[in-house]
Amino acid sequence: MLRIVYTSVQAVPFGPEDLESLLARASVLNESVGVTGILLVSQREFLQCIEGPAEAVRQVYRRIQADPRHTDLQILSSGPIRRRQFDRWSMVGLMVPPQQEGVHSAFSLLDHRLDRPWRTLGKAALELIQEYAHIKLAVEAQP
Ligand SMILES: Cc1cc2nc3c(=O)[nH]c(=O)nc-3n(C[C@H](O)[C@H](O)[C@H](O)COP(=O)(O)O)c2cc1C
């Protein structure tokens, strides 16, 4: 199996409804070829991890590259994996809120780290995505 983590810059402003329709399409396409992953969306960037059978991941990445809703794609890490990190989702998306002065949330430390331009995260990106997803989903699951 192969995993690719890349970042890109939004070509047009991207809101919650845009994310919803993107995920609806992407998760159907991914499910049909056994690809899973996660997409983080900030005010101006995307950070995505896709994983699965190598040829399927390459094919999905080519489709992602061709999408005019973003530019300047940069792969932060790419390589063979034994196990998936995000096997629960054919594709899940999370909006990362902008860091607010004086606001302390369960994940403000992470938000702070995510506040840098995502292309500067390098190989640390995957770990940060995992931590973020973990905390975010735990917070959202609370009643
Ligand atoms: C940030 C971003 C993430 C995307 N993620 C996926 C994905 O995980 N899987 C996929 O098949 N396509 C992904 N795409 C590509 C779109 O799903 C695809 O280009 C779009 O639906 C157009 O394809 P269509 O004309 O066949 O509908 C992504 C595109 C963008 C901009």
Judge residue 36's burial from the number of C-beta atoms within 10 Å of its C-beta, 0-12 exposed, 13-18 middle, 19 or more buried: buried
**pLDDT digits (tens), the chain, 143 positions:** 999 999 999 999 999 999 999 999 999 999 999 999 999 999 899 999 999 999 999 999 999 999 999 999 999 999 999 999 999 899 999 888 776 655 556 566 666 788 889 999 998 999 989 988 888 777 777 77
What letter would DSSP give residue 99?
P
Three-class SS of residue 94?
strand
Locate tokens 């403000």: which residue? 108
Does the reported pTM lie above 0.85? yes
Provide the 10 A C-beta neighbour count for residue 114.
Answer: 23
Ligand 1: lining residues by beta carbon, under 6 Å: 22, 25-26, 29-30, 37, 39, 46, 48, 50, 60, 63-64, 67, 69-70, 91
Inter-CA distances, 36 with 14, 29, 84, 91, 110, Å: 22, 10, 8, 6, 23
Q: How far is the CA of 102 from the centre of ligand 1 (A)?
A: 36
What single-letter DSSP state applies at residue 63? H
Cα-to-centroid distance, 46 and ligand 1 (Å): 12
- In the chain the domains, ranked by start, together with CATH numbers, are 2-141 (3.30.70.100)
In contact, 70 and 46? CB cutoff 8 Å: yes
